[in-house]
Every structure is written in structure tokens, then in C-alpha cells.
Chains A and B, each alone.
Chain A
Amino acid sequence: MAIPKARGQALAWVLGGSLAIIAVAAMTQISAGSYGMTYRQAWAALTDPGIWRQPAALLRLLLGESFARAHKLPEAQPLATATLIVWNVRIPRVLVGLLVGTNLAFSGSILQAITRNELASPYLLGVSSGAGLAVLILMVFFPAWMGFVPLAAIAGGGLAFLTVYAIAWKRGASSVRLVLAGVIVGAIAGSLHTAIFFYARDVNTFQNALAWTAGSLTGADWRQVRLVAPWTLLSAILAFAGARSLDLLLLGDGPARALGMSVDRARFLLSAVAIMAAGSSVAVAGLIGFVGLIVPHVVRSLVGSSHRLLLMGCLFAGPALLVSADTFARLILNPTQLPVGIVTGLLGGVFFLFLMRKRLEFGRP
């Protein structure tokens, strides 16, 4: 395939750099914390033969206790404390970070292409807030239904996105109108979020809801991994399948249609993929802002706007940003854990300022 050489190299750098960041952040995340370990101990726990030699133990972790009971998996040998902490608490948190990072970066890439708007992201277009509202309603009013939280979040995100488009639409939706409409819908959803807090039955629910609104991976376990992983897989496959259509959309609706693409249908299906990715990550990690804005931007500036390369870069850079931000958020004020959304929000705010200045300087059409 004719990938220009320079871009192939840039992509290799993105992948290599991201993998290095992920490796360092993940090892730090796994070893550090209130139960401190050296890297060597953490590695030993990670490679504990008690896990790897016993399929039953591994399956119990991956698929959950209820699955194990239902399918009568054999009991596993008891594990060392370090192994238990690493495998029950810290690894799933890293995994949820990887999956959510991928989802948000993919969602942002797709939304930026289909709205042809470099400011688009699930957070700014109201998708996250809509998904969040659905999750909060479920969390506070229907706690028994929490197993359906990804579906509810995706539905809420989709509804919010339709509303944003309906508000912004005036013979096409311009960049600025879309973002403004996203801010409006986000503000409405935000005040509803706060309103729902007052209906929380107990302090525990209240605290959960609050931490979740700020975007947090605290307490993420294998259940969260199981909730989000299928959606990550599905949306990533669909995004790669749509890469060529995303490229074509960047040429403009007219040229894309002239090349035989059903522009409206493609845009609808691709936004569904973006909402699926963003909604499912909101369902497990709450409102983590700006990852979907920053990652596609940085990757695009390195590998160009061809979506095959862009998505490939996002597949690694998204997790790298989220996992390192989460490690930072968890350990910087030890023993207090910051929600990761606060770190990405600070990072994103600065980045947004940088973007605004850049746009003024290079007022390219």
C-alpha cells in the first residue's frame, strides 16, 4: 500500500511511544499505592503461576464469579495477597483505562470527520452529558438495572446527539453552531445531573454519583472490563471498516456523493459507532472530558488525516493518555485519589486554548 514513507515512520513513532508510556504507567499503577510493591514484586504478581497455570483462576477473574458458579468451574487454589491485589484491583483498572481511552479517541476521530469540525468530540457535542444523564438516572432511580448501563448510556448519548444536531441544523450544521448546541445540551444535562443528586437515597449513592460525574476509574474491576470490552471491540472494528468513508467525508458531501457514497446513511451509521464508543465508556468511567478531542488532534498532526493511519494511532495513543493520566490522578495526592476526569480536564483546557490560538494564526479554510 502506498503509505508515504514519512507517515509510516510517524505512525511507528506514535505506536512505539504510546506503548512505552502504557508500559511505564501500567507498571507504576500496578506496583504503587497503599499496598506498595517494588517493580520486581509487581512483576512476580503479574506473572504468578498461581494465575497462569490455573485456567480456572484466570477464567474466574475474566468472566466473573457468577459465570463460574453457573458453569461449575473448578475451585482455584488460594492466591497470595499481592497477586490478589494486582489481579483483582489494579489490572482491571488499567484495562478499563485502555478500553475507555480507545473508545474516547475513536469516538472523537469519527465525530471530527463526520462533522468536518476539528473541535468536535463526544464531550463538546453533548454525547457524554446525554449518556451521563442516562447513567445517573439508572444509578439513582433504578439501581437494580445497572447491568444495562452501557445500553442506557448509548441511548442517552444518541438522544443528546440528535438534539444537538436538531438545534444546530440550519441547511447544514456549521462547526460553531454544532459546538454551541453541544454546550447548550451539555449545560442542560449538567443541571439535570445535579438535580438528580438530590434524589440520592443515601450518602453512598451520592458519593458514587459524584465521583462518577467527575470521571473516575476508582473501583473499576473486572465487571467494568466485561461491560465495556465488547463495545470497544465492536466499535473499533466498525470504525476501521468505515475508514475509507471517513476519508471521503473529508472531501465534502458533494464530492463524496459523486463518488457513489450514500453520505447521509454513512454519516448516520458512523455517528452511531461514535456514540456507541463514547456511551459505553461513559457507562463505566463517567464523564472524562477532552480525551476525544486531544488524541485525534495530536495523532493527526503526526500521521496525517488518512483514517486508516489515524485510527491505528488512536488505538495506541488514546489508551496511553488515559492510563498515564489515571496513574497520575491516583498517585499524585496519595492517599487521596483524584478522579482522572479532573486531570484530563486540566490538560484539555490548556490544549483547547492552544487550538484556538493556532486556528487564529493559520486561518486556513
Chain B
Amino acid sequence: MKIVVVDYDMGNVRSILNAFEHIGITPILSRDKDEILKADGVVLPGVGAFAHGMKNLHMYGLVEVLQAYAKRDKPLLGICLGMQMLLEESEEFGVTQGLGIVEGKVVKLPSEDNESEKLPHVSWNEIVSNSVWDHTILQGVSERVDMYFVHSYMAIPKENDTILSTTQYAKSQFCSSLKKGNIYGCQFHPEKSGEIGLKILKNFVTIVKETKDV
């Protein structure tokens, strides 16, 4: 089984590799088109600005590669910015086109004039189910468990049933994880969310195995 973590110079891939290694998987860190297309599972990490992330994906010629990979409905997991880039566009620093793998857009989290609700949203926060978690990356995860978030923007998928979980921040409830076929995204960082985060990565590995065996 081959899991590729996309290497496009955006943020902390070390912790994602460590987390997979901890659960017994050695992923390949790569930006090679063939490696990605031949992978059984792909993880798109990312911390930073949407426009910068897309610029790097374009620079390495990975936009079409990821789109082609996703078109075959092979397991893909976007984390944080990696999830946001799955959508069609973002309003961060002007409108930037995303990968368009999931319909919808990315907008700034509404910030309230309330001292306790600041941006970026850097916090452990609860995920609440919006659709069935069985046979997804959230299988066996308890409702309202805390995951670790660091972000200022939120994804708004067009179809409500792509939203796996929501999370409350300030007065808004945003999409904290999504699923479209075997395409997954989580706004939180499973690699930084303790043992439950590791469980979510294990679930992704299980999905990769099952998809490969079919």
C-alpha cells in the first residue's frame, strides 16, 4: 500500500509523516506526478495562505494531477489548507481558484467583537456530526470530541451532505470535516489532535486498504 504526502513546500509535513509512522505506515513525501497518480492514498497537507498554496501547486504542476487523481475517486485526505484547496475558490487575499474537487468556496471566519472569540481560531474545539460517520475517517470517533484547529478561513461546501462534521466558533458553525466519495477533508489537524487524531489517520489508512482491495 502506497500513501503519498504531497510535498509542495507548505508547512509542517514532518508531523504528518511522524503520525503515519507512529501508526505503522511509512508514507512517501513526493511531488512526482507519477508517484501521486499511482498512489493508493494521497494526503494533501498545508498550513498558510490559500493563494500561496495554490501558487505552489501550480508551480509544481500538481493541480491537474490532483484533479485527475480525485476524478478516479481514490482516497484523498486534505488537511487544513489542504482541505480548503479542495474547494472551488477562496476569498483569502482576493479571489483565488481552488482545485474544484468539492463544490463550494472558502470564506473568512466571521469574527465577532467579542474578546473571547479571536482570529485566527487557534484552539481545541468540538466536532459535531452532520452526517453518518460509519465507514468514514470519523468511524468510532465520539461525538463532541475535541480536535486541534488553527485557521482563519472556513470551507462552505455547496452540498450539505458533503459535510461530515461541524464546529461552533463565535456565532458561526463551520464545516470541520467533509466527505465526497473517497475524498476527505478536515479543517482540524489530526496529526496534532492526540490519540483521537491518530485514530482518524488510521481510519483513512483502512479506507485506502479497502479501496485498494476492491
Q: Do A and B come from one complex?
A: no
- List residues of chain A with CB under 8 Å of any chain B CB: none
